Amino acid sequence: MTFTLPLLNYAYNSLEPYIDAQTMKIHHTKHHQAYIDKLNATLEKYPKLQKESAEDLLKNLNSIDEDVRIAVRNHGGGHVNHSFFWKILKVEVEPTGEVIKAINKKFGNFNSFKEKFRDACLTLFGSGWVWLAVNKKKDLEIIKSPNQDNPLSDGKTPVLGIDLWEHAYYLKYQNKRADYVEAFFNVIDWEKVNENYVNSSGA
């Protein structure tokens, strides 16, 4: 079995003006596809690993042959992270549901959460992701990941995540990561994030 590019259930221009159509198209068809191609090439000689889901590969990195572990971590992470990211994007959905109750409980209020999340985004050095994830204690955590690492590899389940590689925003925002992060808050599909939260925490 080989991994394939998931289709988006929305048009590339549907997140405008916050994320532009050209960025979405290149990000999906070129960057995400490249992770998939490299993951498939990496697993060519490892038929046993091909039977696993990409998420399971990331959850069990330590059990993967050292020869391909880093490649699976990078390209498998790239595939899982982008597949996840596309699904949590939708324009102007009001924050809603159990996840917002949990956010308010953990961070005091939504604005305080947003501030902490933004700080994490702006202090992440280089390329990577910032996540809101559920840890083993069913508690919410803001996590900074370098490269294409995913909280799944640390036993945590992401419910929300932002791609902070420049390819995610450079065409429209250039070096202004803060503006991209601000715009991102207008394209979070809180209904999907809530679904992720409820499924991960048993809330």
Q: Footprint of Mn ion on this chain (CB under 5 A)? A: 163, 165, 168
Q: What's phi and psi for 140, nearest 5 deg?
A: -80, 145
What's the closest the beta carbon of residue 25 comes to Mn ion, in angstroms? 13
Give 10 or 165: the residue with its C-beta nearer to Mn ion.
165
What's the closest the beta carbon of residue 75 comes to Mn ion, in angstroms? 12
What's the closest the beta carbon of residue 106 comes to Mn ion, in angstroms? 27
Q: Are 54 and 3 in contact (CB under 8 A)?
A: yes
What's the closest the beta carbon of residue 118 comes to Mn ion, in angstroms? 19
Give 30 or 101: the residue with its C-beta nearer to Mn ion.
30
Question: What is the side-by-side strand order in the sheet with 128-134?
Answer: 140-146, 128-134, 157-163
| Nearest residue to Mn ion on Cβ basis | 163
Structure tokens at 189: 């599909």
Q: Are 84 and 158 in contact (CB under 8 A)?
A: yes
